[in-house]
Structure 1
């Protein structure tokens, strides 16, 4: 049976002299590290009695020698090789607490995050430019447009999303009507709940919630699909046989999300208005006919045009962000998940920022 790791001590000048015996391997160490730590000052470590040593055993010896400034002797060729490898490793054996002031650490983290966000924005803009070049090439040579791929993405981005977007929008309409009615009935203005539901659904919330849902559903799918294709080298294979990944993979997805977003936004707005109408009928005793007539009076066409202008922009943004994140996958499957999460977060953030910009812009031109 292999000898258990052990040591003998003897008094020497400047401290104890430790002579190791047995096998200094992970399986045979036992409580040896704890007993070494319990010793006083150590002047020398003798490895001549060691039968075998592995990396863990060499690390124990190196740690003890460094802690007591002890000399090492009697090491075999194998032990010398391991000890030298550990000596060449400049990494710290212990994690030291960052003793810098909190404000310095916060500023460093803020700077790192800001640099990362700026790098991602520059990358997205660059990717968008490359996509426009590929689009121009396809427009000049119409036979290169992949209609089948675009129609397939219509199914994935639009048709398959109708149930969840419809249900979500219907419930949001009920929530808007209920919360608005609670506040307005204090002033005897229950009827203005229709104004709140109608304008909020058409102008803002219907399209915004749809964009967030599409970003989480389709944007993440774009990033995961393209990222997996990068890992399996399908994208490189396309380039090898002369097929442009931008034309074959990116443009169909971006085109589908751009074309479908206005339709989904209008559909979501109608579902939200329907939800508000159901609550108004049941909770406020407003007949459906009165509800519809009031909507026709208070919803201007500018709200409808504002929605149609914003929707394709949101679709382009979601498609480009998802495809860009997928194309950035380089190393392993873990990066696919990280890039997928990054695509969803970036798309939702940029959609909300652009929505705020559009709100200010439309207000400045009188589309209130």
Structure 2
């Protein structure tokens, strides 16, 4: 009879008595001991666990490995130990999940279908949320006592006044780049002076409102999602409902109205900054005086281009605010969910802004504006 550690091997090799602590802290010693026992014991050896022995899932796994996973060959008078051995045996008996084969072309088609289905669901959700905003606006429009002026003014400051420097700087730099590229290309045709029209048309019709909307989507739209999402995670929205208030009236309407006010003003700032950036490049590289630049801009650029650009600003503002607030209400409660929906808000807002801008460009082209 040989004895080592906390187990004893009976002479005939058909029965092993287990005693002591069979726990995780001794796992390396226990594994070595069982490896030695497996060489000396018969293939049908049984284990007898003493009542006083301490055993956890790690020790039970080692013992089951000794009897080839057959829990029926593990004997004990302790009910808790018997249940533990049986639970570990069932867990180890579950086969590992097989990795799904790559379906190749069918997998690509399935992924495309899933993406289209998700896009369709998001579109329906956005349409429903827009309807909810419009119904809330119609309900409170004739009730000045329900207007949340303080909250609206605070959001106008955050989304409009605080965003003015970055919008002006971005549009100024893009205007300078557009003017420089236009001057380089048109110079080969002896038409460098037409850079003035290029800068004017591009910023009045497209770049002014588009760049501003993209900046607002990344700055204010994401902030709306994070703010409402954090409130959802802290159950503050449930508290608002408990007070008998509508979250759309309290949280969404001030943000929508603030963006409807701020984005057209920021668009005007972006148009002016872009034109000034183009004027600086024209003055520096084309020997066009500032007076000549603005005189030619006034003579050759119709006011309708300005109104085409400004007409898109309220629509972009409404869509950005709606998407940002809607994604905030989708937050499930964790910090990861807040980050996921904030990212989704920015991506959806920019995508929708560019899509609507493309459709608007086609529409105004067809009606000759």
Report how far residue 37 of structure 1 moved.
9.4
2:206 is aligned to 204
Q: Is the 8 A contact 1:194 1:295 kept in 2?
A: yes
- After superposition, residues 264-343 of structure 1 pair within 5 angstroms as 264-343=266-345
Aligned residues: 360
| SS of residue in 1 equivalent to 2:54 | strand
TM-score by length of 2: 0.85
2:49 is aligned to 48
Counterparts of 1:311 and 1:101, CA distance in 2 = 45
With over 3 angstroms needed to count, the CA separation of the structure-2 counterparts of 1:353 and 1:282, relative to structure 1, is same
1:82 is aligned to 84
Counterparts of 1:306 and 1:94, CA distance in 2 = 62
Moved more, 79-88 or 215-224: 79-88
With over 3 angstroms needed to count, the CA separation of the structure-2 counterparts of 1:65 and 1:330, relative to structure 1, is farther
With over 3 angstroms needed to count, the CA separation of the structure-2 counterparts of 1:139 and 1:53, relative to structure 1, is same
With over 3 angstroms needed to count, the CA separation of the structure-2 counterparts of 1:233 and 1:177, relative to structure 1, is same
Moved more, 214-223 or 186-195: 186-195
- After superposition, residues 1-368 of structure 1 pair within 5 angstroms as 23-30=21-28, 46=47, 48=49, 51-58=53-60, 64=65, 70-71=70-71, 72-74=73-75, 76-86=78-88, 94=96, 96-367=98-369
Report how far residue 34 of structure 1 moved.
9.1
| 1:188-219 deviations in Å (ceiling 9; x for gaps) | 22222222211111111111111111011111
Q: Is the 8 A contact 2:30 2:62 kept in 1?
A: no
| 1:16-66 deviations in Å (ceiling 9; x for gaps) | x9987764433322376699899899766737279433344445666x489
TM-score by length of 1: 0.86
With over 3 angstroms needed to count, the CA separation of the structure-2 counterparts of 1:21 and 1:248, relative to structure 1, is same
Q: Which runs of 5+ in 2 are unaligned?
A: none
Counterparts of 1:256 and 1:356, CA distance in 2 = 25
Counterparts of 2:12 and 2:175, CA distance in 1 = 85
CA RMSD of aligned residues (A): 3.3
Moved more, 355-364 or 153-162: 355-364
Counterparts of 2:129 and 2:63, CA distance in 1 = 53
Q: Is the 8 A contact 1:5 1:30 kept in 2?
A: no
Moved more, 261-270 or 179-188: 179-188
| 1:91-136 deviations in Å (ceiling 9; x for gaps) | 9664633213222332332232222222222112111111111111
Q: Is the 8 A contact 1:206 1:266 kept in 2?
A: yes
